[in-house]
Amino acid sequence: EPEVTQTPSHQVTQMGQEVILRCVPISNHLYFYWYRQILGQKVEFLVSFYNNEISEKSEIFDDQFSVERPDGSNFTLKIRSTKLEDSAMYFCASSEDSLTYEQYFGPGTRLTVT
Amino acid sequence: AQKITQTQPGMFVQEKEAVTLDCTYDTSDPSYGLFWYKQPSSGKMIFLIYQGSYDQQNATEGRYSLNFQKARKSANLVISASQLGDSAMYFCAMRENMNSGYSTLTFGKGTMLLVSP
């Protein structure tokens, strides 16, 4: 069964550094998402992406964040200057289209900012 | 106001018994979808079941069923015949504007389910 994959599984970075989290969505999916989950808290939507542009974003997704689909398979989340409060699990998800109800989640990347 | 409320931070159940995890939601949108996801200790989010606001019948998927009470705005997950592997965090989520291009999932805070032998 096809799966969403994410790399790395765990990233440790120093405050102020840039990080790039990588995701490979399911190959025939057209919509891509990033969510984050601060330890012990609920999952929060960050951004959705379709046709090479952002379709929705939350208040969390400020100028420090950006997303990109640099090639036909990868979908990346960049945090330009990390803060301690960016420490969280970041989930990538994908879906076939906007009307399909199921979003398939990847295993997540644990980001630790020190 | 919280869009998704899960009032049970933790639940305990014995193996082979049924358990109900509560979820209430708040929306004025007539077209919405309700979801349950399981998050085991590995951290991965696993889709369990979906209920559309216009669906006439309660959704079922194997041992999972969704007790959808639209007037009460509740979408409780029922797990029948609990298994040890069901021990996990369970999240209720909602998507509004199902007929539009908007696809954001809003999650509740989750319920930790522990199944004992």
Kindly report, residue by residue over B15-67, the tens digit of the pLDDT.
999 999 999 999 999 989 999 999 999 888 899 999 999 998 999 999 999 99
pLDDT digits (tens, 9 = 90+) for A10-48: 999 999 999 999 999 999 898 999 999 999 888 999 999
B10-14 and A19-24 strand pairing: unpaired
Residues B101, A98: C-beta atoms closer than 8 Å: yes
Count Cβ neighbours within 10 Å for each residue of A81-106 and write b for 16 or more, e otherwise.
ebeeebbbbbbbbbbeebeebebbbb
What CA–CA distance (Å, rounded) separates A91 from B5?
A: 21
Smallest Cα distance from B96 to chain A, Å: 11
Residue A99 pLDDT = 66
Q: What mean pLDDT value characterizes chain A?
A: 92
Residue A100 has pLDDT above 70, yes or no: no
Three-state secondary structure call for residue A14: coil
What CA–CA distance (Å, rounded) separates A53 from B103?
A: 14
Whether cis (ω within 30° of 0) applies to the bond prior to B117 is: no
pLDDT digits (tens, 9 = 90+) for B63-80: 999 999 999 999 999 999
Residue A97 has pLDDT above 80, yes or no: no
Q: Which amino acid is at A27?
A: S
Section A67-78 average pLDDT: 92
Testing the interface with B: which of A42, A44, A51 to mutate, by most B Cβ within 10 A?
A42
Please tell me if residue A91 touches chain B, with a CB cutoff of 8 Å.
yes
Residue A78 pLDDT = 98
pLDDT digits (tens, 9 = 90+) for A12-22: 999 999 999 99
From chain B, the residues in CB contact with A53 under 8 A are none
Residue in B closest to A54 by C-alpha:
B102
Residue A110 has pLDDT above 90, yes or no: yes
pLDDT digits (tens, 9 = 90+) for B69-110: 999 999 999 999 999 999 999 999 999 877 776 678 999 999
From chain B, the residues in CB contact with A110 under 8 A are 43
Q: Which amino acid is at A110?
A: R
Residue A44 pLDDT = 94
B88-to-B9, B10, B40, B72, B85 alpha-carbon distances in Å: 12, 10, 4, 26, 8
Section A96-109 average pLDDT: 83
Residue A102 pLDDT = 82
